[in-house]
Amino acid sequence: MSSSETKAIDEGEKRFSSQPTGYLLGRFGLIAILAGLFLAAWNGQIVIVILLALVLSAAGLAKLWSRFSLAGVHCQRLLGEHRAFHGEYIELKLRIVNRKLLPLPWIQVNDEIPIEFASGISLTSGNRPGVGFLSKTAALLWYTGVSWQHHLYCNKRGYYMLGPITVSSGDIFGFYPHSITKPLIDHIIVYPKIFPMTQLGIPSLYPLGETKYERRIFEDPTRVIGVRDYTPHDSLRHIHWKATARHQNLQIKVFEPTTTLKVALFLAVDSFKNDGAHNEEDFELGASPRASLGLHLASQALAALRGRNYVIPDDVKYLAVPILAHRLIVKTEARLGGRSLEIIVREVVSSVPVPVEE
């Protein structure tokens, strides 16, 4: 499980104090209370002096408590994974620790989460479009901590940023709330949804090919290069009747084998519009299987080059590295361990069992 963590005092942190709750607790309000205190003492109003003194004492204590409320507070975000496929869940854990003697009667944590992960999680409105706040509130005694755990549902492919985190606390009365923004940033990559090739049903533009090929794997019935004598295993549809009449013997057409040298995949984005808006579900179905289609078509081409009209697992394993390796990002620990993209892809492909039809 990877983590992001900041110290209580760190570079890049932004501290700010919100306005006191009420004008009476502001600077001018406290000056007015202090002036009233002296005036009441001058006139001998003991009860008023005691009340105003209690108000000033409570305000001073609250101000001092709020000032040191976030000292020694450590916040941490833990992610189970930084990469996932569409439809998977990523474990998210938030932890806040109070490492001082001063207790915190209340503390609030607001973590910025993309709204794409909001399934099953209650998010409040964020400061930026497409982002919401995952808000948590607790009370902490001295040298204690609290954790919250959630599961982020990967509903849409993309590259997402989590954070920063805003931590707020203050005095027991809530007179002077104090906040700090911690630059805890994590990124999550959600890979496209995997679609079985049988669901695609993409027809070929040229089912038979346009270039002559030496090996006879598939013959193009539109290219007749000669005739030969009929044999019992030949199809009657391939009889050349004019040549048969001329030779007075059944003659069979001989076809030229062809192949296609280039394959191109095109996605008509405008075709996914419905009443001026794009249909995201259909668009994902069209855009997601690009790598799968590329590997599928390349495997068919390699099988043809090797003299077969069917694909075997060795064809897929041979092409997995050049087609898939450049789409991956190696973690730091893997790169430091000397594991390259090619090695990782080969290990993954080797670990996948060969599908067998029952």
For 268-302, write each residue's pLDDT tens digit: 777 767 776 666 666 666 666 776 777 777 888 88
Average pLDDT, integer, range 186-211: 65
The pLDDT of residue 105 is above 70: yes
Q: Is the residue at 8 inside a domain?
A: no
Residues 228 and 337 occupy one common structural domain:
no
Q: How is residue 12 written in tokens? A: 């890049």
SS3 content of the chain, % helix, strand, coil (to 5): 30, 30, 35
Residues 281 and 217 occupy one common structural domain:
no
Q: What span, in angstroms and rounded, lies between the C-alpha atoms of 270 and 284?
A: 14
Q: Is 48 helix (H, G, I), strand (E, B) or coil?
A: helix
Residues 217 and 311 occupy one common structural domain:
no
* pTM listed for this prediction: 0.59
**Contact predicate 90/107, CB 8 Å:** no
Residues 33 and 82 occupy one common structural domain:
no
Q: What span, in angstroms and rounded, lies between the C-alpha atoms of 266 and 343?
A: 31
**Contact predicate 79/91, CB 8 Å:** yes
**Contact predicate 284/267, CB 8 Å:** no
pLDDT at 7: 40
Residues 285 and 318 occupy one common structural domain:
yes
pLDDT band at 8 (very low <50, low <70, confident <90, very high): very low
Q: Count of domains in the chain?
A: 4
Residues 180 and 84 occupy one common structural domain:
yes
Average pLDDT, integer, range 83-97: 91
Q: What span, in angstroms and rounded, lies between the C-alpha atoms of 238 and 219?
A: 12
Residues 155 and 168 occupy one common structural domain:
yes
The residues near 211 (Cβ < 8 Å, ≥ 6 apart) are 258, 259, 260, 261
Domain boundary among 67, 90, 124: 67
Q: Is the residue at 7 inside a domain?
A: no
Residues 109 and 177 occupy one common structural domain:
yes
pLDDT at 200: 57
Q: Is the residue at 142 inside a domain?
A: yes
Cα–Cα distances in angstroms (integers) from residue 279 to residues 205, 283, 325, in the given order:
25, 6, 30
Question: In angstroms, what is the C-alpha Rg of the chain?
Answer: 36
The residues near 103 (Cβ < 8 Å, ≥ 6 apart) are 139, 140, 141, 142
Residues 280 and 302 occupy one common structural domain:
yes
The pLDDT of residue 145 is above 90: yes
Q: What angle do CA 167, 170, 172 make, to 5 degrees?
A: 135
pLDDT band at 134 (very low <50, low <70, confident <90, very high): very high
Residues 304 and 277 occupy one common structural domain:
yes
Q: Is 159 helix (H, G, I), strand (E, B) or coil?
A: strand
The phi and psi torsions of 276 (rounded to 5 degrees) equal 85, -10
286: left (phi over 0), alpha (psi -120 to 50) or beta: alpha
| Structural domain for 83, as ranges | 72-191
pLDDT at 324: 74
- CATH of residue 333's domain is 1.10.8.80
Q: What span, in angstroms and rounded, lies between the C-alpha atoms of 184 and 226?
A: 74
Residues 252 and 280 occupy one common structural domain:
no
Domain boundary among 67, 86, 107: 67
- CATH of residue 89's domain is 2.60.40.10
